[in-house]
Copies of this chain bind each other. A is one copy, B any other.
């Protein structure tokens, strides 16, 4: 997942002139699939951020674990990739669709979207039905995302698609070619937003 993410945000390294380092949390599970997975990484994630001082932090998991804590503790911008993806999608289309990994992630997404007051802009959230670790077979994953994305577009009225996982950004270009609407990779969205916040001198507030 970390390598996939690294590849997806490389585009930002080349143009934004900033240094972007990706790290893997050793204590974490292979993927975040359950609320137990989410909660297990909250404190280790924030400790890790505290241990590696930098100008801005991105928590690269679509459940945004530890986001509010990290903002309280650190005096720098801290960004979640899910919230960044929702904000990016608002600027790219009228109604966004979300491609969830698993059916059971959808209530967690709904809570986050409602928490931000954005449910009026949500077209629908639909699951791939593939586990995080099963996301490595490129062709079948892309085929499945395209199928779900077309349902979101044609049936639910989405005109922008959010990939509800940290590791699918490297497929963005192919997905946009096949879906013909913008596709948001949450990691790219968060790193780009971090660059903007740094440039303009903002920090995020708890």
**Chain A residues within CB distance 8 Å of chain B:** 11-12, 15-17, 34-36, 38-40, 42-43, 46, 66, 68-69, 71-73, 83-84, 87, 90-95, 104, 106-108, 110-111, 114-121, 157, 159, 173, 181-182, 188-189, 192-193, 195-202, 204-206
Contacts and interface: CB of A to CB of B under 8 A. Distances in A.
Nearest to A94: B107
B90 A205 contact: no
Given A111-B115, A115-B115, A192-B196, A93 B11 contact: no
A133 to B, nearest CB: 19
A31 B192 CA distance: 32
DSSP majority for the A interface? helix
Oligomeric state, in copies: 6
A38 B119 CA distance: 26
A28 to B, nearest CB: 14
Contacts of A159: 107, 205
Contact of A204 (B46, B91, B196): B91
Contact of A15 (B15, B17, B115, B116): B17
A38 B95 CA distance: 23
A72 to B, nearest CB: 4
A143 to B, nearest CB: 23
Contacts of A157: 106
Contacts of A188: 200
A90 to B, nearest CB: 6
Contact of A200 (B12, B73, B117): B12
